[in-house]
C-alpha cells in the first residue's frame, strides 16, 4: 500500500550531513520525495512509498546521522501522489 508522509524535524539537524543522510535512507527504501533545510533551523522531509518502507525510513529519520541531534519530529499523513519522482535534496 502506497502512503505519504510530511515531516518537520527539529534539533541539531543543519550543518551535520542530515539531508544527505535522509537522501541515502530514502534511496535505500525506494522512496520518492525531497528534503530541505528550513529557515527556522529545522528540516522538512516529504516522502511517499510502500508503507513498510516508510516505517523503516521514519525509524532512521528519528536517529539521524552521528553528528545530528533529533529533538522533535512532527508527522503529517498525506495522500501519496502516486508518481515515481525520485528523491531530491532541495535548497
What residues are annotated to the active site? 19, 37
Q: What backbone torsions phi and psi does residue 11 show, to the nearest 5 degrees?
A: 130, -155
Q: Which helix (H) or strand (E) holds 18?
A: helix 18-29
Q: What's the gap between Cα 54 and its chain centre?
A: 9
Q: Strand pairing of 32-37 and 87-90?
A: parallel
Amino acid at each position: 500500500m502506497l502512503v505519504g508522509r510530511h515531516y518537520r524535524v527539529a534539533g541539531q539537524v543543519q550543518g551535520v550531513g542530515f539531508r544527505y543522510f535522509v537522501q541515502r535512507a530514502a534511496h535505500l527504501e525506494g522512496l520518492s520525495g525531497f528534503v530541505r533545510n528550513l529557515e527556522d533551523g529545522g528540516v522538512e522531509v516529504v516522502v511517499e512509498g510502500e508503507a513498510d518502507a516508510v516505517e523503516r525510513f521514519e525509524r532512521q529519520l528519528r536517529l539521524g546521522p552521528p553528528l545530528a541531534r533529533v529533538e522533535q519530529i512532527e508527522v503529517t499523513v498525506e495522500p501519496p501522489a502516486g508518481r515515481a519522482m525520485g528523491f531530491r535534496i532541495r535548497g
